[in-house]
Amino acid sequence: MGPFIKDKNTTKKMMNHLLIALTPIIIFSFIKNGFIPYKKGYTNIVGLFYPLIFIGISTLSTFIFETIFKLIRTKNIKEALKNTYSIFPGLFLGLILPINTPIGILILGSLVSSIIAKMLFGGFGKNIFNPALVGRLFIISVFASTIMSKGGYLNPYELDAITQSTPLTNASVITGIGNYETLVRPYGRLLNIFIGNIPGAVGETSALLCLLAFIYLTYFKVIKWKIPVTYILTVFSITYVIGGSNDLGIWYPLFQIFSGGLMFGAVFMATDPVTSPVTPIGQILYGLFLGILTVIFRYLTPFPEGVLTSILTMNMFVMILDKIGSIGRFNFKIALIPFIVAWLLIIGLSFGIAVTLNKTEEIDPNFSILSKEINQNKTTYIVTQKGYSSTLKGQIIIENGNIEEFKILDQNDSFYSKIEENNYIEKLKENNEIDTVSGATITSTALKNMIKNTLNDYKTGKKENIINEEATKEPKPTFEIISETQIDEATKEYIIKNKGFSGDIKLKVTLTNNQIKEISVLEQNDSYFHMLEENNYINTIIENQSNIKEIDTISGATYSSKGVKEGIIKLLEQVGVINEQI
């Protein structure tokens, strides 16, 4: 038994305090998500009480599931109904989910929270992972697109009247670091975000109420205050440096702290007595690394939110942290090591992210300079520009501001012959603004951009040599036909590979009489690939294969759908079904 289980009386008192602290948050959620939409006429009487119903269902579900489980185990109704605070996972789960989560999915999530994350591990006091967070992770991993298609985090009023996204989602779509206008202004003033009158999960939005809860709970010694304090301070410091080196005021770190359920997570989820460290040193380290992880997830991954994953990840390390904590009391030196690591990470992250965000300004991501050699007033560039189906590598020599020489060293674009037939390279050398070659428009545009970007660097870039050994290497093709099998006279089966979002997509395509009969996905590594299946994308491609280029990509899985569509287009070109780029 660990020291985190106090006697029954204290536990009961703690839980009561917790409930009291949560009440203002529940009421606020009711007002924001139920009362206001009702008053403004965006929803009916059911919608008025919906937030309460939502939270009520999740709370009740975990209670029922846990009771049934205990009933099966102990076969004793009295034992089963004994209160072991089974309502809390459900209560928290309801508060951290988007309000448009379908009820069936909500109940399924409660099942995962109570049974899989808690009861199977031994019940109250024995679980490793925070049950509510496991439930939410499960729901988000599996049903994200379903929920988003029903409106995601937006309540009926926000959906129709405002149509925004949550502040963090908004921040993740902005290029670069953003500023007060783009990050905060859409939601009013910073105060608005603090109070919580913004889109978000059912109960997570109000930083103000979480702060009040924190003060209340710390006063009554219910939660481990060191954890939220260190957590929030860490995030504040790192984002302060990031904002500062990009000339953003103190509102920036405050914005980061108040948005995205950080306050709620820090006060209620990270301090969960069972899944957090016991020793003081352990707690401080816990808070430090939570902050570090949240920053990493918010800035360096495509998912906008980081609190959930950070807490669950650190849950895994709690045992180790407590070991360090207990050793640290006697052997200070050993405990020092993780602190040093933490500080190095903090400093590294602050400046690393600050610098990289600064740099992301208007450089064409499809262009890169492999080498640049300055010889008095003659500069020789070897550059690459993404073409149609391959990377174009070119050599451009600029003298006194004019292009003296333009040569393509390497390319593998389909229909490049049209460029050569038209003597396009020579013509571009004289005038970069001429029309593209029909039938090879994308390659033509890429060639024009290649010259434009090189000229841009010539005028504004640093006057120093760049040497990159990649200049001599073969560029890796993005598309490849891996195999071709003749099934019968009219049918051939191809296995192709094309770049998707985070990796390659492998497809098997069956062509009969040059018509696509079937496409199957052999391998892919993209997080949102399931959206293609949900939108029946493959069938859409097969049915519209004569107009395949007109087919839209799937929003939310743009690169994946693009990878599939373009891979098939390239196959059709190589086989001769399609005859020109468009």
Partner 1 sequence: MKKIINGIIYENPILVSTLGLCGALAVTNKVENGIVMSICVLIVLLLSNTIISIIKKLVPENVKIPVFIIIIATLVTIIEILLKKYAPSLYQILGIYIPLIVVNCIILGRAISVASKEKITTSILDGLGVGLGYSLALILLSTIREVLGNNTITLMDNLSAITGYKAIYKVFPNNEIIPLNIFNKQAGAFLTLGILIALAKYIGGKHESN
Partner 2 sequence: MNLISLFITSVLTENIVLTKFLGLCPFFGNSKKEETALAMGLCVTLVTTLSSVITYFIYHLILVPTKTEYLSTLMFILVIASLVQLLVLIIKNKYKKLYKSLGIYLSLITTNCAVLGVVLLNINNNYNLLETIVYSLGSSIGFMLVIYVFSTIRERLEQSDIPKCFQGIPIALITASIMALIFERFKGI
Q: Which does 123 bind (CB under 5 to 8 A by kind): partner 1, partner 2, none?
A: partner 2
For position 123 contacting partner 2 by CB under 8 A, the verdict is yes
Q: Which does 128 bind (CB under 5 to 8 A by kind): partner 2, partner 1, none?
A: partner 2
For position 144 contacting partner 2 by CB under 8 A, the verdict is no
- Select from 53-61, 126-134, 198-206, 399-407 the region that touches partner 2 (CB under 8 A): 126-134
- Select from 19-27, 273-281, 353-361, 477-485 the region that touches partner 1 (CB under 8 A): 477-485
Cβ contact 124:84 at 8 Å: yes
Q: Using CB under 8 A, pick the residue from 129, 194, 268, 537 that binds partner 2.
A: 129
- Residue 356: what are its φ and ψ, rounded to 5°? -65, -35
Chain residues 482-541 in contact with partner 2, contact rule CB under 8 A: 502, 527
For position 120 contacting partner 2 by CB under 8 A, the verdict is yes
Question: In angstroms, what is the minimal distance from the CB of 511 to partner 1?
Answer: 14
Question: In angstroms, what is the minimal distance from the CB of 70 to partner 2?
Answer: 11
**Nearest CB to partner 2, comparing residues 65 and 138:** 138
Chain residues 87-106 in contact with partner 1, contact rule CB under 8 A: 102, 104-105
Dihedral sign computed on CA atoms, order 363, 241, 179, 32: positive
Give the list of residues 6+ apart from residue 358 with CB closer than 8 angstroms, or none: 177, 245, 246
**Nearest CB to partner 2, comparing residues 80 and 116:** 116
Contacts by residues 240-248 (CB-CB < 8 Å, ≥ 24 positions apart) = 241/350, 241/351, 241/354, 242/177, 242/299, 242/350, 242/353, 242/354, 242/357, 243/177, 244/354, 245/351, 245/354, 245/355, 245/358, 246/177, 246/354, 246/357, 246/358, 248/177, 248/179, 248/180
Q: How many residues bind partner 1 (CB under 8 A)?
A: 22
Q: How many residues bind partner 2 (CB under 8 A)?
A: 32
Q: Which does 506 bind (CB under 5 to 8 A by kind): partner 1, partner 2, none?
A: partner 1
**Nearest CB to partner 1, comparing residues 138 and 289:** 138
Q: Which does 303 bind (CB under 5 to 8 A by kind): partner 1, partner 2, none?
A: partner 2
Q: Which does 485 bind (CB under 5 to 8 A by kind): partner 2, partner 1, none?
A: partner 1
For position 336 contacting partner 2 by CB under 8 A, the verdict is no
Question: In angstroms, what is the minimal distance from the CB of 144 to partner 2?
Answer: 11
Question: In angstroms, what is the minimal distance from the CB of 557 to partner 1?
Answer: 13
**Nearest CB to partner 1, comparing residues 319 and 522:** 522
Distance CA 96, CA 311 (A): 14
Supply 174's token pair.
């902005």
**Nearest CB to partner 2, comparing residues 54 and 138:** 138
Distance CA 453, CA 367 (A): 7
Question: In angstroms, what is the minimal distance from the CB of 125 to partner 2?
Answer: 9
- Select from 125-133, 329-337, 459-467, 546-554 the region that touches partner 2 (CB under 8 A): 125-133
Q: Which does 105 bind (CB under 5 to 8 A by kind): partner 2, partner 1, none?
A: partner 1
**Nearest CB to partner 1, comparing residues 144 and 288:** 144
Question: In angstroms, what is the minimal distance from the CB of 500 to partner 2?
Answer: 12
Chain residues 120-159 in contact with partner 1, contact rule CB under 8 A: 138, 141-142, 146
List the beta bridge partners of residue 492. Answer: 486, 511
DSSP H helices, 250-397, are 251-258, 262-264, 280-300, 307-328, 332-359
**Can you say whether residue 15 is alpha, beta or left, with left for phi > 0 and alpha for psi between -120 and 50 degrees?**
alpha
Per-position x/- string for 278-307, each x denoting binding to partner 2 as judged by CB under 8 A, each - no binding: ------------------xx--xxxx----
List the beta bridge partners of residue 491. Answer: 512
Cβ contact 32:223 at 8 Å: no
C-alpha distances out from residue 511 to 333, 491, 518, Å: 67, 6, 7
Q: Which does 320 bind (CB under 5 to 8 A by kind): partner 1, partner 2, none?
A: partner 2
Question: In angstroms, what is the minimal distance from the CB of 40 to partner 2?
Answer: 36
Distance CA 347, CA 237 (A): 10
Q: Which does 301 bind (CB under 5 to 8 A by kind): partner 2, partner 1, none?
A: partner 2
> How many angstroms separate the most distant Cα atoms in the chain?
91
Residue environment code for 405-435, b if the CB has 16+ CB neighbours within 10 A, otherwise e: ebebeebbbbbbebbeebebeeebbeebeee
Q: Using CB under 8 A, pick the residue from 160, 399, 480, 493 that binds partner 1.
A: 493
Give the list of residues 6+ apart from residue 16 with CB closer than 8 angstroms, or none: none
Give the list of residues 6+ apart from residue 356 with CB closer than 8 angstroms, or none: none
For position 559 contacting partner 2 by CB under 8 A, the verdict is no
Q: Give the chain's end-to-end CA distance (angstroms, integer).
A: 69
- Residue 248: what are its φ and ψ, rounded to 5°? -105, 145
Residue with tokens 């009961």: 12
Supply 576's token pair.
């001769």
Order of strands across the sheet that contains 491-499: 479-486, 491-499, 504-512, 515-523
Angle between helices 131-149 and 103-111 (to 10 degrees): 160
Q: Which residues bind partner 2 (CB under 8 A)?
A: 1, 73, 116-117, 119-123, 126, 128-129, 134, 137-138, 141, 296-297, 300-303, 309, 312-313, 316-317, 319-320, 323, 502, 527
Q: Which residues bind partner 1 (CB under 8 A)?
A: 102, 104-105, 108, 116, 138, 141-142, 146, 482-483, 485, 487, 493, 495, 506, 508, 520, 522-523, 530, 533
